[in-house]
């Protein structure tokens, strides 16, 4: 039986601001766009629990937040700081297990099955992690402890902030019984409506349905719902371990020799690779370029950096260098690929200026990743990559 933890920081950005500005504590703090007295554009990143009592929440237009809570303290996000804190929190996770799967800047799954001999059982480890985060970062986290990811993720959310909810293996159905079906992973608004029409409002209601009936009604998803309703989820915690390289390729619809389009494609591929790296919590050192001409002759070139990186900019500037050195101008290209390997972590390396700049760019990447996750994959494509999209669309 696995022991899985889901750890999620409480009101993450806002809590960091309250920690660093004692005068903000106990007050409604709203991190996000400038409200400009109610006429501001942009959205709320997050807000303190005090602000949530006014109805303010993440992704709400900042103008609406201002209406609900004009007396709030409005703070612009400090991405660099939050990323640093995030890194330190993940270091705490790694003190307890290598099996850490980052989900976002402030949450992760941890498989602590093998850590129990050293650190105690699941709930004890959860308590220790919370304590370490409080001592080291002066912040609170909420933790769910359960036999699988699905249950752990629900559990961490139930007693926020500063929660610790344990789902023991023999109490799974009891735990799920009264939970609303909105907690059913994979059930969108429409599915929820359909379920409610059938009189299914809680996960317990759903669990009362036989597997066959759910299969009939929902096809493949029916089986999935059946499993979740009974708290069954076999997904493993995917740590960064074992991954040797990350790469993406693009094959052109028609062979391409326009250098600006080729470069823009490399940028878009770098963005994809960078995004995947950061999602997996990986940093690599060797950047790869793959280039296939129209006659299928293929070259691969790589360059090893003097430091590990997960930055889109760093990937792109390196791959661009490789491209400029190796591309025979004017020849038509069929396929381009960008990749990175030699994963590791920066430990005792001196912080060179170069690297400092790279880190700063990483903050931007991380914020863009959050946006991407919230608002769809295409929202923050850099301008150049956007241009290529437009151009391709026109072509069609
Ligand atoms: P969440 O963990 O979703 O939210 P939270 O930590 O602020 O609050 P909770 O106690 O409910 O977990 O997101 C983590 C951070 O990601 C959050 O502090 C700010 C950022 N974020 C955005 O910038 N935009 C968003 O729409 C969301 C949901 C989060
Ligand atoms: Mg959180």
The string of pLDDT tens digits covering residues 190-209 is 999 999 999 999 999 999 99
Alpha-carbon span 78 to 13, nearest angstrom: 8
The radius of gyration of the chain from alpha carbons, rounded to an integer in Å, stands at 24
Q: What is the pLDDT of residue 281?
A: 72
244: pLDDT confidence band, cut at 50, 70 and 90? confident
| Domain 4-8+95-169 CATH class label | alpha beta
Q: Which fold has domain 13-79?
A: MutS, DNA mismatch repair protein, domain I (3.40.1170)
57: pLDDT confidence band, cut at 50, 70 and 90? very high
- Is 373 a residue of the active site? no
- Protein residue with least CA distance to atom 4, ligand 1: 11
- CATH 1.10.150.20: does it fit domain 173-229? yes
- Protein residue with least CA distance to atom 12, ligand 1: 10
Which residue matches tokens 């700049």? 357
- Protein residue with least CA distance to atom 5, ligand 1: 11
Q: What is the mean pLDDT of the chain?
A: 89
- Give me the catalytic one of 17, 101, 107, 359: 107
What is the domain partition of the chain in residue ranges? 4-8+95-169, 13-79, 173-229, 245-395
User: What digits encode the pLDDT tens for the residues 40-56?
Assistant: 999 999 999 999 999 99
User: What digits encode the pLDDT tens for the residues 97-116?
Assistant: 988 988 888 999 999 999 99
Q: Which fold has domain 245-395?
A: Dna Ligase; domain 1 (3.30.1490)
Q: What is the pLDDT of residue 348?
A: 40
Q: What is the pLDDT of residue 351?
A: 44
Residue 252 has pLDDT above 70, yes or no: yes
Residues flanking ion ligand 2, Cβ below 5 Å = 8-9, 12, 106
Q: What is the pLDDT of residue 383?
A: 53
Helices (H), 40-162: 49-52, 62-68, 79-96, 116-119, 122-137, 149-158
Q: Kindly give the distance from the C-alpha atom of residue 245 to the centroid of ligand 1, in angstroms, as a whole number.
A: 30
Mutate to test the pocket of ligand 1, among 10, 11, 12 (most ligand atoms within 8 A of CB): 12
- First and final C-alpha spacing in the chain: 53
Q: Kindly give the distance from the C-alpha atom of residue 11 to the centroid of ligand 1, in angstroms, as a whole number.
A: 6
165-179, 213-227, 277-291, 305-319: range with highest mean pLDDT: 165-179
Q: Which atom of ligand 1 is nearest to the CA of 31?
A: 19
Q: What is the pLDDT of residue 80?
A: 85
């Amino acid at each position: 039986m696995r022991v899985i933890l889901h750890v999620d920081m409480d009101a993450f950005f806002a809590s960091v601001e309250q920690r660093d500005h004692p005068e903000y504590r106990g007050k409604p703090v709203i991190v996000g766009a400038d409200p400009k007295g109610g006429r501001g554009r942009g959205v709320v990143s997050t807000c303190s629990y005090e602000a949530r009592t006014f109805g303010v929440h993440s992704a709400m237009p900042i103008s609406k937040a201002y209406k609900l809570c004009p007396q709030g303290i409005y703070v612009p996000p400090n991405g660099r700081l939050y990323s640093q804190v995030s890194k330190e929190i993940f270091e705490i996770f790694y003190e307890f297990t290598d099996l850490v799967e980052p989900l976002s800047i402030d949450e992760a799954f941890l498989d602590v099955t093998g850590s129990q001999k050293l650190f105690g059982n699941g709930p004890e480890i959860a308590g220790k992690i919370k304590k370490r985060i409080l001592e080291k970062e002066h912040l609170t986290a909420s933790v769910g402890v359960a036999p699988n990811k699905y249950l752990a993720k629900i559990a961490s959310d139930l007693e926020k902030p500063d929660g610790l909810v344990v789902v023991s293996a023999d109490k799974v159905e009891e735990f799920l019984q009264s939970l609303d079906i909105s907690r059913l992973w994979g059930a969108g608004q429409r599915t929820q409506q359909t379920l409610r029409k059938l009189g299914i409002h809680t996960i317990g209601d759903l669990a009362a349905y036989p597997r066959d009936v759910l299969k009939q009604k929902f096809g493949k998803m029916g089986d999935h719902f059946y499993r979740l309703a009974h708290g069954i989820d076999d997904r493993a915690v995917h740590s960064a371990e074992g991954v040797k390289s990350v790469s993406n390729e693009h094959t052109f619809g028609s062979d391409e020799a326009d250098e600006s389009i080729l470069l823009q494609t490399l940028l878009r591929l770098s963005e994809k690779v960078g995004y995947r790296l950061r999602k997996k919590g990986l940093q690599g050192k060797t950047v790869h370029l793959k280039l296939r001409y129209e006659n299928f002759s293929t070259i691969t070139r790589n360059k090893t950096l003097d430091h590990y990186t997960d930055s889109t900019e760093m990937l792109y500037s390196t791959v661009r260098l490789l491209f400029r050195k190796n591309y025979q101008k004017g020849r038509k290209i069929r396929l381009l690929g960008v990749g990175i390997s030699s994963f590791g972590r920066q430990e005792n390396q001196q912080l060179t200026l170069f690297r400092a700049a790279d880190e700063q760019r990483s903050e931007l990447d991380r914020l863009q990743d959050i946006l991407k996750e919230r608002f769809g994959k295409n929202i923050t494509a850099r301008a150049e990559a956007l241009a290529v999209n437009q151009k391709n669309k026109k072509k069609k």
